[in-house]
Amino acid sequence: MAVDLKLSFTVVTIATAALVSSPQPAALAVPSDSGPLEQFDYETRYFRQKIDHFGFADNATFNQRYLIAYKYWNHNGGPILFYTGNEGDITWFCNNTGFMWEVSKELEAMLVFAEHRYYGESLPFGNKSFSNLKNLNYFTSEQALADFAVLIRNLKQTIPGAQSSPVIAIGGSYGGMLAAWFRMKYPNIVVGALAASAPIWLFENLSPCEGFYNIVTNDFLKSGKGCSESIKNSWDAINKLSSTAEGLNFLSHTFHLCSPLQATDVTFFKSWLSNTWVNLAMVDYPYEANFLQPLPAWPIKVICTFLQNPSLPAESLLQNIFKAVNIYYNYTGNVACLNISQTATSSLDDQGWDYQTCTEMVMPSCSDGINDMFEPMPWDLQSFSDNCKKDWGLRPRPQWITTVYGGKNISSHSNIVFSNGGLDPWASGGVTKSISDTLIAILIPEGAHHLDLRSSNKEDPVSVQKARALEVKYFKKWIEQAKI
Amino acid sequence: MAVDLKLSFTVVTIATAALVSSPQPAALAVPSDSGPLEQFDYETRYFRQKIDHFGFADNATFNQRYLIAYKYWNHNGGPILFYTGNEGDITWFCNNTGFMWEVSKELEAMLVFAEHRYYGESLPFGNKSFSNLKNLNYFTSEQALADFAVLIRNLKQTIPGAQSSPVIAIGGSYGGMLAAWFRMKYPNIVVGALAASAPIWLFENLSPCEGFYNIVTNDFLKSGKGCSESIKNSWDAINKLSSTAEGLNFLSHTFHLCSPLQATDVTFFKSWLSNTWVNLAMVDYPYEANFLQPLPAWPIKVICTFLQNPSLPAESLLQNIFKAVNIYYNYTGNVACLNISQTATSSLDDQGWDYQTCTEMVMPSCSDGINDMFEPMPWDLQSFSDNCKKDWGLRPRPQWITTVYGGKNISSHSNIVFSNGGLDPWASGGVTKSISDTLIAILIPEGAHHLDLRSSNKEDPVSVQKARALEVKYFKKWIEQAKI
């Protein structure tokens, strides 16, 4: 499970050389659950950004994409809700952040969704952006925050009526970390931030490394009798079967794999399964949704109906495991075969995030196989770093994020709401207790990954309704403060 | 007076091609007034810093010099007073910051003086550091702050007893700006900051551009009858005389210039005089001192004794002007001739600061010749930028500092004391009114440039004694807060 060392917000399996297959069609990225699309009526614009905010040798620029909507905006200094784009196409985040659209009317707010450099269309060196380390050198969270700051200053300088508009940063997941860090580093630019499902404490030794997989396990444990136990037992079953050619053949057929499983792929196959369970924990939403994949309401519960008997013989157990993962990969029933090099929407950029985990975003994770349903996987920084050296020709700096963004020592900051879902594995590195009366933690026990940022739904648990109401209350408070 | 467009903390005249003269002996840099040197007993150490904290393409390092003293340090978590080095050799700042040495005993504090990259011995590319824009690319305040943060984390991790030591940033002038910005950007690293004579608001349009020269003028106006008026009248006298070969000859002889004055040098000559007046305003200390040059107590008063009659004919007026500047350049009586390409100690690095003013540190200044004693000089960003393009091959980014460090919108920060001297022209861009009960302004009416950072002296005005006492009071408060 070496590839799991690189925690990803979508845990997209990284293709190894042995496994490279023909390109797959992009996963469905059109949101099915975000309300009518006409509601999300934005203009696409581009802003000329400096490629290097922190050096002067080169004055080169690139076009940063951003989406803007001002249907409900009060042109006389109304607030701006600013989405701090994360690791993917900004239109995808825009269409999956219905919360911002819904509150824009009440707050008379302008909406801006800014794309993160090196993702989507915002490529500093076009299709050469990932060609070499030199071109990749400006791919950091600090540069991204500087992009946001410079863009906001420009918007306020150029849009009539926006000069004194208070700006609130909003983001989910890595975008939530950026929102929080943006408020910490640029309190002159944003009056406050909503950091949804932002694991800002999943770095260095700030949180126990086993937390992430413990939450995933717990989600399955609570969703059906025998469920997590079945998954725990599946690893030995796979190990046993994959030791023979006949067993490999059985696995390939049982799992409807697009390419026959080789002995050398078994670790990768198990990693793909693990990542599937992790992704399910992230998107265990109370209604039918299509965030990473089209899925039924409470998908883990659905899956667990197939995993009630952990004591079955290897073959039967794995046939059930297939039925379970098939819900995740083929809920629509249109998928001909399963491709173990893909686990999530193609709107998220695995390559970009992989680079970021190999530079700044080192988030230790581990499993022990006892308190969780995964195979034991200790955290091994050296091996993690060696893999980065192999893959990218560089080594990560695991102490940097805690140095530059404060680690646990953030109490001197203000006006940040950290929201976390109780079902979300990323909550293991989140701020789940309020730090002060301006650094607020909101817990959504029935929530998965940033459920609060999604459009409201009649199946929403009360906890997320309350969370959203509280978030809006803080927005209003920050906007009021800014007027003083 | 085009060269004056680049405000420098020591306003060192920049040599033009026409004026390049043989290298001058270094100005005296040994502090004569900092108390016995044995008091300043430090170890010199070096720390391996990343050249680029904000990119990963290159993992190259350089040795950052720092000075450390722990004679009085409480080895059980005693505080660390950390000088955020500015534009010069760190030993010079160390030896001119007696205040830190004096309070180290009372606070049982360790002292650390960290050299700023690209100055002194801390050259990222050795003697090639200034060879090309590529090597200069890591010469920014953000990289310098990151150096400080990484160094402090390392000290706390490696010095037994320092793990929980609260760290206070202290700096004067540009070092004071760095101290303030350090607390703003890294409140996890430093519990508070003393920013002495730090003109953090001398950027963009945050302060009136005429403020700087108004204060200089006022210093001379108050120091003797006819004094500022004499200087104001001197420009026309120079213009008149320099229009003839005979007059140029008169000026060369009268001012004991090392090289005869050419018609093409006259602007530069006037700029050198202007800079001399500015430097005098900065070091108008109440006792004999040697900061930029060896000088008597209240040097402007001494100088003004020669400038009591502004109505003299041009020749006599300029003979008096010479007597005045001769106090500044030749108080010791050992100087054979005056060199108009040098105005201050060689411990400050003009070249480095010039680069910084052409990149981040754009501080608009202007004079109108009516409310000040200088020739009219409007602020002209375009011409400033064109000069930078000519000198360095790059253009400044005048909006960047206010974007990244907050401009006037800094009220959400905490634990910074801004001290300013009423005689100091840099106070025109300083924080001279408290912003909150944790962002404190201290005014020292009789103080020149960061007088409070100097060793105590029996001639110290009461205002600086009180300022230092208040500063120590805040240090103790921050140290106490850190224990909670």
B221-272: per-residue pLDDT in tens? 999 999 999 999 999 999 999 999 999 999 999 999 999 999 999 999 999 9
**Chains A, B: CB contacts under 8 A, how many?**
99
Place of tokens 């009518």: A36
The burial of A462, by beta-carbon neighbours within 10 Å (0-12 exposed, 13-18 middle, 19 or more buried), is given as exposed
Regarding whether B176 and B227 lie in a shared domain, the answer is no
Residue where one domain finishes, among candidates B336, B361, B396: B396
Is 90 exceeded by the pLDDT of residue A87? yes
CA distances to A54, B81, B140 from B52, rounded to whole Å, are 10, 26, 10
Provide, as residue numbers in chain B, all residues whose Cβ is less than 8 Å from the Cβ of A412: 187, 413-415
Residue A30 C-alpha, separation from nearest chain B C-alpha, in angstroms? 35
Query: What values do phi and psi take at A349, rounded to 5?
Result: -105, 105
Residue where one domain finishes, among candidates B396, B430, B463: B396
Chain B residues with CB under 8 Å of a chain A CB are 50, 52-59, 133-134, 136-138, 140, 142-143, 146, 149-150, 153, 185-189, 359, 394-395, 397, 399-400, 403-404, 406-407, 409-410, 412-415
Confidence of residue A6 (pLDDT cuts 50, 70, 90): low
Residue A122 has what DSSP assignment?
Answer: B
Provide, as residue numbers in chain A, all residues whose Cβ is less than 8 Å from the Cβ of B153: 399, 403
Residue A462 C-alpha, separation from nearest chain B C-alpha, in angstroms? 34
- Residue B262 maps to a domain: yes
Q: In this structure, are strands A110-114 and A80-84 parallel, antiparallel, or unpaired?
A: parallel
> CA B268, CA B365: separation in Å to the nearest integer?
18
- Residue B432 maps to a domain: yes
Torsion sign over Cα A336, A340, A345, A347 = negative
pLDDT in the model for residue B332: 87
Regarding whether A426 and A392 lie in a shared domain, the answer is no
Query: How many structural domains does chain B have?
Result: 2
A365 catalytic residue (yes or no): no
Cβ partners under 8 Å of residue A273, min gap 6: A234, A238, A321, A325
Regarding whether A376 and A426 lie in a shared domain, the answer is no
Domain span at A96: 43-200+410-482
- What does the DSSP assignment read for B376-390? PB---HHHHHHHHHH
Residues B17-34, mean pLDDT to the nearest whole number: 32
CA distances to B40, B109, B347 from B67, rounded to whole Å, are 10, 14, 16
Confidence of residue A39 (pLDDT cuts 50, 70, 90): low
Q: In this structure, are strands A61-69 and A43-50 parallel, antiparallel, or unpaired?
A: antiparallel
Confidence of residue A11 (pLDDT cuts 50, 70, 90): very low
Selecting from A58, A137, A407 the residue whose C-beta is nearest the C-beta of B56 gives A137
Mutate to test the interface with A, among B56, B58, B357 (most CBs of A within 10 A): B56
Contact of B94 with B68, CB cutoff 8 Å: no
Q: In this structure, are strands A294-295 and A289-290 parallel, antiparallel, or unpaired?
A: antiparallel
The burial of A23, by beta-carbon neighbours within 10 Å (0-12 exposed, 13-18 middle, 19 or more buried), is given as exposed
CATH of the domain at A345: 1.20.120.980
CATH of the domain at B460: 3.40.50.1820
**Which one is catalytic: A349, A424, A452, A460?**
A424
Query: CB–CB of A403 and B143 under 8 A?
Result: no
Torsion sign over Cα A112, A117, A119, A125 = positive
Tokens coding B298 = 């209240």
Query: CB–CB of A188 and B406 under 8 A?
Result: yes
Say what percent of chain A tops pLDDT 70. 91
Mutate to test the interface with B, among A54, A59, A191 (most CBs of B within 10 A): A54
Regarding whether B228 and B319 lie in a shared domain, the answer is yes
Least CA distance to A149: which residue of chain B?
Answer: B403
Enter the ipTM. Answer: 0.91
> CA B171, CA B82: separation in Å to the nearest integer?
8
Query: CB–CB of A412 and B187 under 8 A?
Result: yes
- What does the DSSP assignment read for B401-451? HHHHH-TT--TT---EEEEEETT-GGGGGS--S--SSSEEEEEETT--TTG
pLDDT one-digit tens code per residue, A163-189:
999 999 999 999 999 999 999 999 999
Query: CB–CB of A394 and B186 under 8 A?
Result: no
Is 90 exceeded by the pLDDT of residue A21? no
- Residue A287 maps to a domain: yes
- Residue A251 maps to a domain: yes
Amino acid found at B345: T
Selecting from B59, B142, B399 the residue whose C-beta is nearest the C-beta of A54 gives B142
- Residue A17 maps to a domain: no
Mutate to test the interface with B, among A412, A416, A438, A481 (most CBs of B within 10 A): A412
Residue where one domain finishes, among candidates B335, B365, B396: B396
Least CA distance to A152: which residue of chain B?
Answer: B403
Contact of A353 with A276, CB cutoff 8 Å: no
Is 80 exceeded by the pLDDT of residue A75? yes
Provide, as residue numbers in chain B, all residues whose Cβ is less than 8 Å from the Cβ of A153: 399, 403
Mutate to test the interface with B, among A49, A56, A130 (most CBs of B within 10 A): A56
pLDDT one-digit tens code per residue, A401-447:
999 999 999 999 999 999 999 999 999 999 999 999 999 999 999 99
Contact of A133 with B56, CB cutoff 8 Å: yes
Is 60 exceeded by the pLDDT of residue B1? no
Q: In this structure, are strands A167-172 and A439-444 parallel, antiparallel, or unpaired?
A: unpaired
Regarding whether B293 and B231 lie in a shared domain, the answer is yes
pTM of the model: 0.92
Regarding whether A215 and A196 lie in a shared domain, the answer is no
Least CA distance to A393: which residue of chain B?
Answer: B57
